[in-house]
A and B are shown apart, each in its own frame.
Chain A
């Protein structure tokens, strides 16, 4: 019995290690690539003289590519998109969890459909619209279009959080003389804080990783890292080491965020399945 158990444990460990090797190999490859000097890019796999020149070039805005600006752009539009989605989405999630009104389910489904409809289906009309409205290559335009990504996520996940709260807490507050708004802000909202933290992070990552929207709807001023990192591939010789460095730098913010709010993340991403 115990022997079998231990054997199973080893097997599980081995499987996990294999999986990690598989999952982490591309990242290791990127790290190696980013440390290679340009002249050794194609000549060797593992034996090369490592250098941080790639990172210096990327962060130093040389090669005529304003990578730092792309990075800042990504931060601005991702944070902007999440903040706007929270402002609009939290009340929406609360309302849809608490009240059935005419068309409420259709509205929620429409919102969800933004998530499963491929972005490519709307990108061409959006491109035309953005050109006409002057939203092309602007922060406002990017924050706006990213609502397609962040808003459904926030509304749907937060809806289940609010639905899990017993309405009696808010009703007790109403009886105490609080208004509906106060009951929402002072009773319901503080209780779903872990959920808000988790869903904000998720939404931020989705917004940060989005590629198609900035690819088509920005050109320079509002371009984000996902598209910007590829700029190093252009020109007469693709500079893989610079692309790798840029990509690794662009992973830092979501990673840092995830680490700082890890505590909330586990609790929050169980989606209300584990009740306190």
Chain B
């Protein structure tokens, strides 16, 4: 198995008559052998461009890509031995599943038929396709297509596996099973893998580590827990977590508190010099409704979702609504008066100007 390293990787798109676009602006990453890294970000953040550069489908503007310690940057895609499972599966419609899988083997070497057959059957067993080998792509469900696509990427025994939004075209039920399958297969075979996705759930559940990307720059790299528990800046805090974190502007006060309005102030996890403009981040799941003490608020709406509820409140004197995850037995009505408290240890503070965490 192989280590993958990106050094100062950059990509600038330039077309005549149009301003150049810096899609990827210097990415440094080291993937340990067998690690699954999630590259998470909104569309247009450069994650797919990064993937395409690693695969060799996009020319690199600057920087270096190393597979197993040696640079592959100058090599064309054909000579990189990188497997990609494309977002749209890229299955060849006239061929059966077995032929699709064999197609990838026939390019490099004049492998003999028995060998190809054996490998096709082996990989099919791995991803649970044995009964579908004679089917054509048009007759498969999205989840099955995804497995064929994965098998196709894996059959050549690539050094690095790249997954491009592998679950985005699946319905909810298929997504769950396919996600579990993906995780199992990746663990079993131990490929160094990059998973590109805009879906935080996908990244959080599958990846060993996550790199959150925005505007061609990695905003934060860490385990799913690190990303969730201590987001490096407002963007990461906002992008990861569902429902999204509450971000409220405020001014710090002397006793490790921030004032959000004349009527509302919250405790901060650490003392911050007085009079500084900050953004206070509190996740909906870290807020509790209390009887009397806490911040006074008015209920705007409450969505009971059986296993929990989502309440939208306005704190007195604060314009931005506050979203709170409530216990399932809580019943709230429009215009009810409530009080909320936040655990200061789970509260995040960001600089209002730079957006960086003050932790």
Contact = CB atoms under 8 A, between A and B. Distances in A.
A177 B105 CA distance: 9
Interface stretch (A55-63, A163-171, A228-236, A238-246): A163-171
Nearest to A182: B107
A108 to B, nearest CB: 16
A169 B92 contact: yes
A191 B94 contact: yes
A267 B107 CA distance: 31
B78 A166 contact: no
Interface of A: 100, 102, 166, 168-169, 171-179, 182, 187, 190-191, 276
Given A177-B108, A178-B107, A172 B94 contact: no
A174 B138 CA distance: 23
B90 A171 contact: yes
A264 B93 CA distance: 17
A187 B92 contact: yes
27 contacts: A168-B86, A168-B87, A169-B90, A171-B86, A171-B90, A172-B86, A172-B104, A173-B103, A173-B107, A174-B76, A174-B77, A175-B56, A175-B57, A175-B153, A176-B103, A176-B105, A176-B107, A177-B78, A177-B79, A177-B104, A177-B107, A177-B108, A177-B156, A182-B107, A187-B92, A191-B93, A276-B138
A40 B238 CA distance: 92
A33 B56 CA distance: 67
B78 A178 contact: yes
B156 A176 contact: yes
Contacts of B151: none
A169 B93 CA distance: 10
Interface of B: 15-16, 55-57, 76-80, 82-84, 86-88, 90, 92-94, 103-105, 107-108, 138, 152-153, 156
B157 to A, nearest CB: 12
B152 A172 contact: yes
Contacts of A190: 94
A179 B88 contact: no
Q: Is the interface of B mostly helix, strand, loop or mixed?
A: loop
B107 A276 contact: no
Given A172-B84, A174-B57, A179 B90 contact: no
A168 B94 contact: no
A179 B78 contact: yes
Given A168-B86, A168-B88, A174 B93 contact: no
A150 to B, nearest CB: 27
B84 A175 contact: yes
Contacts of A276: 93, 138
Contacts of A171: 55, 57, 77, 84, 86, 90
Contacts of B15: 100
Nearest to B103: A176
A172 B155 CA distance: 13
Given A100-B15, A176-B104, A191-B94, 18 more contacts: A166-B88, A168-B86, A168-B90, A171-B86, A172-B90, A173-B103, A173-B107, A174-B78, A175-B55, A175-B56, A175-B77, A175-B82, A175-B83, A175-B153, A177-B107, A182-B107, A190-B94, A276-B93
A255 B316 CA distance: 82
Closest 3 CB pairs of A and B: A177-B107, A176-B104, A168-B90
A233 B1 CA distance: 82
Contacts of A175: 55-57, 77-78, 80, 82-84, 153
Nearest to A169: B90
A27 B54 CA distance: 63
Nearest to B94: A190
Contacts of B104: 172, 176-177
